[in-house]
Structure 1
Amino acid sequence: MTSPDPADSRDRMRRLRARLGTLAFGGDYNPEQWPEETWQEDVRLMREAGVNLVSVGVFSWGRLEPRPGVHRFDWLDRLLDLLAEHGVAVNLATPTAAPPAWLAHEHPETLPVDADGQRVAFGARQHYCPSSPVFRHHAADITRRLAERYAGHPALAMWHIGNEYPGLAYCHCEVSAAHFRRWLAERYGTVDALNEAWGTAFWGQHYDSFDWIGTPRNRLLGGPNPAHRLDFVRFSGDASLACFAAERDIVRGYTPDLPVGTNFMGGFKNLDYWRWAAEEDVVAIDVYPNSWDPEGQIHSAYNFDLMRSLRGGEPWLLMESATGPNVQRRRNSARPAGQLRPRSLQAVARGADSVMFFQWRESRVGAERFHSAMLPHGGTRTRVWREVRELGNELPRLAGLAGGRAAAAETAVVWDWESWWAVELPGHPSVDLDFRERVLAHYRPLWHANVPVDFVPPRADLSGYRLLVVPSLYLVDDAGARNLTDFVRDGGHLVMSYFSGIVDEHDRVRAGGHPGAFRELLGLLVEEFSPLQPGETRGLSHAGRPGVAGEWQDVILLDGAESLAEYTEGEYRGRPAVTRHRFGTGSATYLGTSPDPATMSALLLDAARRAGVTPVLDTPEGVEAVRRRAGDGGDHLFLLNHTDRPQEVTLPAGTGPDLLGGPPPEGDRLRLTPYQVAVLPEAADR
C-alpha cells in the first residue's frame, strides 16, 4: 500500500476546484431508483438549484452486474452523458458497499460473522467480510471495469471509494481469524513477543503458536484479554483500509489526475481516521446531528474541526448531511425553518469546500424512504426545496473561499483512536467513561467562547499551539508522552483530565503509580480511583465559587502541584479535585473529576487566557464566530446565528460588506435576523 504524495493530492484538488469554479454543491444521486423519464426533470432542477457535483453509483453493484460476469453499463452511460450535457460533475463511486445478491448466494462465505458466531444475512448493505479473497476479487473486478469504461468521460470529476467503512466493524469468520493470525505474526514477529505484549501470564493464557489464536468472540468465561481485544480492533481497521487502498489503486491507474476519497463518519469509533486520511486525496464527512438538539451545532463543529485537522488544515468536503429528518432516531422532527442555512454554512466556515446532502431525490422505497432529501416527496412546492435552492444559488458568492484554510488555531485537543478503543474496554474502574462525551465536555466551553480548535494525535508537531487540551488520554506510548511533556516544558499550557497516561500501547499499566506517563509533568500521585455512582455528585469549590463534581473522583496526593479546586463534601472533603503544576516554562492543569459546566468553562477559559489564546470575537449566546481565509489570501469573518431570535454583534474594525448580501451594520453593530449568516471580508492589517 503506497500512500499518495500530499503534493499530488493538493494538485488533484486544485484541478477539481478549477473545474467547478466554486464550492461544490449537490448530493448523492441514485437514479436507478427512478424511471429514466425522471432523469430529465432531475437535471433541470439540479441546474435550478445550483447543483454542480453529485455522487453516483454508491449502491449500484447489483444493477451494474445483475449476474456474475454479466454487466449492464448502458444506463450509467446515458446518465453520465446527461449529467455532462447539463454541466453537473460526477463523484463516481465504486459500488462495493452493497455486494449483489448473487455474491451472497453463490459465496455465502463472503458474508461476515458477528461476535456471537452468527453469519450476517443478505438484505441490507455492507454485508461483506473485508478479509474475504472472494469478495476482494469481485470488488476489484467491478472497480476495474468502471475505471476502464469511464476514464476520460467528461462528467467524471473524482472517485468515491466504497461508502462509510466498515460494514460489520469486526468479522469473526474463519477467514478473518486466519488473516488476524497473519497480521499478528507480522506485527510481533515471534509468539513470545506477543505473549509479553498481551500479558498472557495472567490466567495462564500463554500461546506456543500463532495458530492457537482466534478472534475475541463473546462466549468467554470471565473478562477478555484487553490487549487481545485492542489488537483485534487495530487489525479490523487495517483489513478495511486494505480494501479501500486496493480499489483506490485501481482507479488511480486509469485516472491519475482525479482525486480519490471515501466518506468518513466524523467522530466514529471503529476506524483510526489519522491513518485513513493519509491514504486519500481529500477528507470527506457524513454528518447528521439532531436538528432539534440545542447543541447540534456544537456536535457539528467538533466533527468539522476534526475532519479539517486530519490532513493538517487542508480543505475538506461535507459529503453527506440532511435537509431535515434522517430516520436514525425514534422520533424525527422536521428541521426548523431557516436552520438549514447556518448548519450548512458552518461547514464552509470551518474549512469545507462543499455542501452536499444525502440525497438528491427522496426515495419512495427502501429503508430510508422517509430520510429527507434536497427534493422532497412534495417536490418543488415545499419549504425544504425553496431553502435548498436559495442555498445553492448563494454559494457562488463564496467561491473565493474554495481552497482556503480556516484561520490558524492556537488551541489543540488531543484525539487518539487507539486510546479511545482502549479506554472503553471492560475491566476499568468505571465502564461508563465515554470518550466522546469527555471530548465534548472540554470542547464545549471553547466553542461558546469562539476559540478556534484543532485536533491532534499525541505525537503531532505542537510548536504552533499555546494551549493543549487532553481529555482522558488513557493509553499513550512513550513518544507521545514525551511530546506532550516537552510541549509544557518549552512554555506551553496544558489541561488534562482524569484517567490519562495509565497504560502503554499494549494496554499494560505503567509502573510507578498513576498517572504513570504524566506523574512528573502533573506534579501529583493519584492514590486511588473512586468513580461516583450513577447520579451521585460531590460539592466542589473553585476560586471561591461553589460547583459540582460528578462521574469520577481521583484521590490526589500533591507532589509539587498546587490545588485549584477542592471537594467540599464526602470522604475526600478538603482534598484537591483540580490542580496546577508549573513545569519547565509552562504549566499543566489536571482535572481529577468531571466538573459542572460552569466550573469546567471557568477552568478552561482561565487556562486559555494564561496561555495567551485569542478568541475570534465576543458574541451573544448562540452566535458562532469563525474566521476562514480565502483561497488567494484574505480573512473572512463568519457570523452564524443559530437561534430563532434576532441577535446583535459588535464588529471588529475593518470588516467589509456581507458577501451574502445581508443588511449593512449600523456603525459597529450588526443585527442578525434568526438563523442569519453573514460573511464579512476583513482588512489585511486588522
Structure 2
Amino acid sequence: MPETTPTGLHRLAYGGDYNPEQWPESVWQEDVRLMREAGVTMVSVGIFSWARLEPEPGVHDFGWLDRLLDLLHEHGIRADLGTPTVAPPAWFYRAHPEALPVTREGTRYAFGSRGAICHSSPAYHAAAADITERLAHRYGSHPALALWHVHNEYGVPVSACYCDTCADRFRHWLDARYGSVGAVNDAWGTAFWGQHYTAYDQIDPPRVTPTVGNPAQQLDYRRFADATMRDNFVRERDILHRLAPGVPVTTNFMTALSQCDSVDYWAWGREVDLVTNDHYLITDGRRTQVNLAMAADLTRSVAGGAPWLLLEHSTSGVNWQPRNPAKRPGEMARNSLAHVARGSEGAMFFQWRQSRRGAEKFHSAMVPHAGTDSRVWREVVALGADLGALAGLRGTRTVADAAMVWDWHSWWAQSLEWRPSEDLDARERADSFYETLWDRHLTVDFAHPEADLSAHPLVVVPALYLTTEAAGRNLRSYVENGGTLVVSYFSGIVDEHDAVHPGAHPGALRDVLGLTVEEWSPLGEGETVRLTERAGDRALTGDVWTEFVVPRGAETVWTYADGPAAGRPAVTRHRLGEGTAWYVSTRLAPPALDAIIGAACEDAGIAARSELPRDVEVVRRTGEGGTYLFALNHTSADAKVPLDGPGTELFGGEAVTGHLAVPAGAVRVVRLA
C-alpha cells in the first residue's frame, strides 16, 4: 500500500506554495530563515515551473530546483513537489496548438493563462509523462521530498474540451461504457426528436445546437470529461509510484467551490494516496465559517473519514471575487484551526511570499507586501506556534453526528436546461440544510447515496434529482433498519441516464417516503406560501416550489395553508420498519427548516445542544492520540463551552474542568483526560 501521510513530517503541515522562481536567489536564504521563525514544516514547490525546468524542447534546467530542495532540507523543511503539468510552456503550444482546448461554441483558447489543456491530447500526454518521469528519477529519493503534487486543481478553469480529438475519444469511451450504438440510443432516449444514431462516428460532443441538446448526452459528456482528467492524473501517479515508491501522491481538490463542480470527487478520492483540498472564503454576505466547515466535512468524507490535508487557503483577502475584503484579526487562525478540527493534518496557504507581478499579485500571502512588520506576519508566526502544540492529534479522526447525501452526478443532471423552474438550485439546498445542522452544533459526514449509512442516526437528502434504483433501495434499507431520513423536494426523479423513473414521482423514493406526487407547481418570483402544523400552532413560510403530495402511508405534519396546493400535505413523516422518513415539499430557509430538522433529531435520538451559543463551533477529534475538543468562537462576545470531563488546554497549558472559557474571536483546544 502507498504511504498516505507526507514522509518525514512529524508535526502538522504548515506552510504554503513557494515560488522561488519569481525571486532572485538572494531572497531564498531570507525565505528559509523566516520559514523557521514562523514554524513552517512543508512548502509546495514547482507547480507552475515547467517553462523554467524545460526552457526548450528536450533542454532541461534542474540546477535551481536542486539548490532549492537542498536548502529546504538543510533547514528542516519538507517539500510537496509538484509536477508542473497544469501549465505547459509556450514552446509546447507553438508546436502543438491542438493541445489547447476548444469551447462548445468552437473557439480555441489561447496560451497565456493556466489550465488551458485538452486532456485528450496525445502530445500533452507524452510531454506530461516525460517531465514527470524526469522529476521522479531526479528527486524520488531526495531527503526533502515528503509528497508528490500532481498538476493543480483539475477542472479549473477548464474541464471539458469539444475538439475533434475529444470527439474521437468520447466515442471510444461510449463504446467501453455501453458496448454498442444501440445501447447508447437506449440510454440517451434518441427516439425523441429523431436523434437516432447508426454508427459511432455520427456521435459528436454536445456542441452548440439551435435549441436544447440531448440531456443524457450532456450528462455523459460531463462524466467523460471528468474521467479523462482523472486518467491523466492516474498516468502521472503511476509513474511516480513506480519511480519513487514510498512517497504519497496527491492532487489538490476544490470540493465545495462552485468553480470546480465538474469533478466527481467520490471517484477521485479513491485514486489519490492522500486527499488534499484548497478552500477560499466566499465573501458574498454568507456566514463564511459555515461554508468553510461544509468544505472541510466534505473533504474528510471524500477521504473516507481519514485525515486529510488543507493544501491551500488564504492568510487574508483573495483577488478574484468582485470584492475582496481582508480577514479580520484572528480570522486566519480560526479558519485554519476549523479545518484541523474537521480532520486536516495541517494548514497550508497560497502562497508563501506575495507576488509582485502576475494575475495573483493582490492575493494575500504568508509574507505580505508589507513584510514582517505587519499584522498578517505576526498572526502567521502565532499560528505556527499553535499548530506546533497540536502535533499529538495526528492520526485522530473527527467525530460526526449526522450525514448528508451528496452526489455530483445528480447535480450535473439537475443543472441541465429546461427544468421545471430556474430557481431549482441543488447547491442552495445543500447549503441551507448544512447551515441548519451547523446551527444545531452537529458535525456532518457526507455520503454517496449508495454508501453504507448505518453509522449515522440522521441522514438528510437536500437534493437528489438523479437517484439510481440502488440508491433508492439503500435509503429504504437505512430507514427500515432504524435510521431517520429527511428528503427535500425534486429528489428521486430520474435514473442515471436522466430518464424519469416509471410511475408517479418521486420515483425511486416513493416507497421509503410513503407518498406520491401528482404534480409540481413552482412558484413565481417573490411568491411565498404558508405552512401550518397539524398538531400545533407553528407556521412556516416556503417559496420557490410546491407540490401536490398524496400520502400513501405517510402522515401529514405540516399543510399548505395557501398557494396552489392549499389544503394539501407540505411536510410528511413516514414510519417504515424501525425508522422514519420525512419529506419536505417546498423550499424552507434555515430558520424554518430547523423545525423539521429538530423533529427529525428527536426521532433520531439526537439531543439538542442548546447550551452552546450560536456561532460557537465545537468539534471533536479522537483516536489513539486521545480526544481533542476544538472550540471556535466566531462571535464578538466571550463564551463558555461545557466540558464532559477534565483536560488540558493546549495553547495555554492550563488544566480545565467544567466549562472552557473561549474569548471573543478565539480558538481553544482541549485534550480531554
Q: Shorter chain as normaliser: what TM range? A: over 0.9
Aligned residue for 1:380, secondary structure, equals coil
CA offsets 1:584-608 (integer angstroms, 9 cap, x no match): 2211100101123222011112201
Aligned residue for 2:4, secondary structure, equals helix
Equivalent residue letter for 1:26: G
Per the normalisation by structure 2, the TM-score is 0.97
Change beyond 3 A, Cα 1:441–1:88: same
Query: Is residue 401 from structure 1 mapped to residue 396 from structure 2 by the alignment?
Result: no
Identify the residue that residue 128 of structure 2 maps to in structure 1.
139
Query: Is residue 160 from structure 1 mapped to residue 153 from structure 2 by the alignment?
Result: no
Contact 1:539 1:567 in 2 (8 A): yes
Query: Is residue 214 from structure 1 mapped to residue 204 from structure 2 by the alignment?
Result: yes
CA offsets 1:336-392 (integer angstroms, 9 cap, x no match): 111111111001100100100000000000000000000000100010000011001
Identify the residue that residue 386 of structure 1 maps to in structure 2.
378
Distance (Å, rounded) in 1 between the aligned partners of 2:215 and 2:115: 27
Distance (Å, rounded) in 2 between the aligned partners of 1:322 and 1:89: 20
Contact 2:395 2:625 in 1 (8 A): no
Query: Is residue 596 from structure 1 mapped to residue 586 from structure 2 by the alignment?
Result: no
Query: Is residue 675 from structure 1 mapped to residue 665 from structure 2 by the alignment?
Result: yes
Change beyond 3 A, Cα 1:346–1:546: same
Identify the residue that residue 585 of structure 1 maps to in structure 2.
578
Q: CA deviation at 1:292?
A: 7.7
Aligned residue for 1:13, secondary structure, equals coil
Contact 2:315 2:349 in 1 (8 A): yes
Give the percent of matched residue pairs that are identical in Structure 1 and Structure 2. 51
Q: Which has the higher mean CA deviation after the structures are superposed, 54-63 or 552-561?
A: 552-561
Query: Is residue 171 from structure 1 mapped to residue 164 from structure 2 by the alignment?
Result: no
Q: CA deviation at 1:616?
A: 7.2
Query: Is residue 33 from structure 1 mapped to residue 33 from structure 2 by the alignment?
Result: no
Question: Alignment partner for residue 244 of structure 1, among 233, 239, 249?
Answer: 233
Identify the residue that residue 5 of structure 1 maps to in structure 2.
none
Aligned residue for 1:557, secondary structure, equals strand
Question: Alignment partner for residue 218 of structure 2, among 223, 226, 229?
Answer: 229
Question: Alignment partner for residue 549 of structure 2, among 556, 559, 567?
Answer: 556
Identify the residue that residue 492 of structure 2 maps to in structure 1.
501
Identify the residue that residue 326 of structure 2 maps to in structure 1.
334
Identify the residue that residue 463 of structure 1 maps to in structure 2.
454
Distance (Å, rounded) in 2 between the aligned partners of 1:136 and 1:385: 41
Contact 2:392 2:625 in 1 (8 A): no
Distance (Å, rounded) in 1 between the aligned partners of 2:410 and 2:77: 42
- After superposition, residues 261-660 of structure 1 pair within 5 angstroms as 261-267=250-256, 268-290=260-282, 293=285, 295-407=287-399, 409-542=400-533, 543-614=536-607, 618-630=611-623, 632-649=624-641, 651-660=642-651
Segments of 5+ residues of structure 2 without an aligned counterpart are none
Change beyond 3 A, Cα 1:617–1:576: closer
Distance (Å, rounded) in 1 between the aligned partners of 2:499 and 2:161: 26
Identify the residue that residue 127 of structure 1 maps to in structure 2.
116
Count of aligned residue pairs for this structure pair: 667
Distance (Å, rounded) in 1 between the aligned partners of 2:477 and 2:618: 32
Q: Which has the higher mean CA deviation after the structures are superposed, 551-560 or 350-359?
A: 551-560
Contact 1:425 1:431 in 2 (8 A): no
Query: Is residue 85 from structure 1 mapped to residue 74 from structure 2 by the alignment?
Result: yes
Change beyond 3 A, Cα 1:435–1:28: same
Contact 1:14 1:403 in 2 (8 A): no
Distance (Å, rounded) in 2 between the aligned partners of 1:292 and 1:229: 30
Aligned residue for 1:556, secondary structure, equals strand
CA offsets 1:647-666 (integer angstroms, 9 cap, x no match): 233x133131211117766x
Distance (Å, rounded) in 1 between the aligned partners of 2:577 and 2:594: 26
Distance (Å, rounded) in 2 between the aligned partners of 1:29 and 1:648: 39
Contact 2:188 2:214 in 1 (8 A): yes
Aligned residue for 1:257, secondary structure, equals coil
Segments of 5+ residues of structure 1 without an aligned counterpart are 1-7
Q: CA deviation at 1:628?
A: 0.6
Contact 2:433 2:590 in 1 (8 A): no
Contact 2:554 2:574 in 1 (8 A): yes
- The CA RMSD over aligned residues, in Å, is 1.5
Contact 1:500 1:515 in 2 (8 A): yes
Distance (Å, rounded) in 2 between the aligned partners of 1:265 and 1:477: 26
CA offsets 1:94-136 (integer angstroms, 9 cap, x no match): 0000111011111100000011100000000011100000011
Q: CA deviation at 1:193?
A: 0.6
Distance (Å, rounded) in 1 between the aligned partners of 2:596 and 2:499: 31
Aligned residue for 1:93, secondary structure, equals strand
Distance (Å, rounded) in 2 between the aligned partners of 1:68 and 1:136: 15
Identify the residue that residue 4 of structure 1 maps to in structure 2.
none
Equivalent residue letter for 2:292: S
Query: Is residue 58 from structure 1 mapped to residue 51 from structure 2 by the alignment?
Result: no
Distance (Å, rounded) in 2 between the aligned partners of 1:13 and 1:180: 33
